Each structure stands twice: as C-alpha cells, then as structure tokens.
Structure 1
Amino acid sequence: MTAPVLDVRRLLDPPDEPPGTPDIRGDGHEQLTVLLSDASAKAWRAAARCTGDTLTDTVNRALQVYAYLVDTQDRGGDILTRKLPAAAEATVLRFS
C-alpha cells in the first residue's frame, strides 16, 4: 500500500498571497533569527545528525512538516503515531 504524497506548496503559498509572491530578500529565501530553548536546540542538532542534513535544511523541513500537521488538524484530521510497526495502539498528536 502506497501512502499519498503531500504537496506542501499549497500550504506555503497562502490564498491571500499569489503563488511566487516575492520575499523580503527577493531571492527566494527569507532570513530567520530565533531564540531556541535548550530542549529545542538539542532536538534541532539531533535531527540534523540523524538525517545528515544541514542545520538550515533541518529547520526548513521542520517548518514544512509543522505547517502540514497544523493544517491537517485545522481541517479536522488526526495525526497518528505508532512507535513500532506492529504496535496495536497509535497515539493521536494534538497541536494547540
């Protein structure tokens, strides 16, 4: 069974902004400065180590995944996780 593929572009170009709306820098990128908690900084570095992605790529992917998860929940969907493939119970994630 093949899982559906998500096209996150519809999440990244909100309806009030036409697709391809220029960003602040004008080069398809925006610079972001954030202050991470200790736990978030550890998770960020651990994710980058696990995937082999750069820290920047890790943030980019995380934001896209978070946008998808919040959009799914906002539309009434559930986000389920299962720790082991054969586990009988799934955990429902909630974002508030």
Structure 2
Amino acid sequence: MPEKKERSTIVEPSRGDPDAEGGTAATSERQPSVAAERVTVNLTPRSVRAMGNLVNWTGYTKTDTINRALQIYEFIQQIMENGGTVHVRQAEGAEPERLTFF
C-alpha cells in the first residue's frame, strides 16, 4: 500500500504585515487593519490551567498565548466555514482523527 503524503499548514505572522506582532494564519482575503485593543477576560479554572501549561511549554507571555490561541481558533473556524475539516494525529503512526468543535 503506498504511503500517504502528509500536508502541513504553518500558522505564523506574515512578514511585512502590520499585525505580524500578534501573528495570523495566512488567508486569501486580507482583512482591514485594526488597532490593538485591551480587554478584560474572566477565565475558567480549566482555561487558567491551559494557559499556565502553554506559557510553560512555549515560553510565550500570557498575552502572546491568548493572541495565538484566538488566531488559531479563527483559522480553524475559517476552515470549517469553508466546508473543510481538521484532523489530528495524537501519536507517531496513529490514525488521524477528525476534530469536532461544539
């Protein structure tokens, strides 16, 4: 049986993008640039643990971690809005699993 080729999408800031500091997923449509915004967020205990783990694993600040999480969420939502699906492989050699978001 022939080996399947894996395709990857890299989500990172675009060079020369005025919004690159926060990073974005590459998209075919350019959105108008918007100003930075300060918000207050109430996190659940589960979200606090997740943020702490991500800060420890990545070395990013809490602000950077939240910004990246929102951008990844937008990227995934955009895929699903366009009829696509998102799959993950939890371990080397494991079968890909389709992610379902509620």
The normalised TM-score by structure 2 is 0.70
Is 1:8 paired with 2:25?
A: yes
Q: Quick one: which of 25, 45, 50 aligns to 1:38?
A: 45
Identity %: 31
Partner of 2:82: 75
Indicate yes or no: 2:63 matched with 1:56.
yes
What's the counterpart of residue 85 of structure 1? 92
Displaced runs of 4+ in structure 1, greater than 2 A?
A: 1-13
Shift of residue 12 of structure 1? 7.7
Bigger fraction of residues in helix: 1
**Which residue type is aligned with residue 94 of structure 1?**
T
Kindly report the root-mean-square deviation, in angstroms, between the aligned alpha carbons of the 2 structures.
Answer: 2.3
Structure 2, gaps ≥5 residues long: 1-5, 12-23
Contact 1:81–1:92 (Cα < 8 Å) also in 2: yes
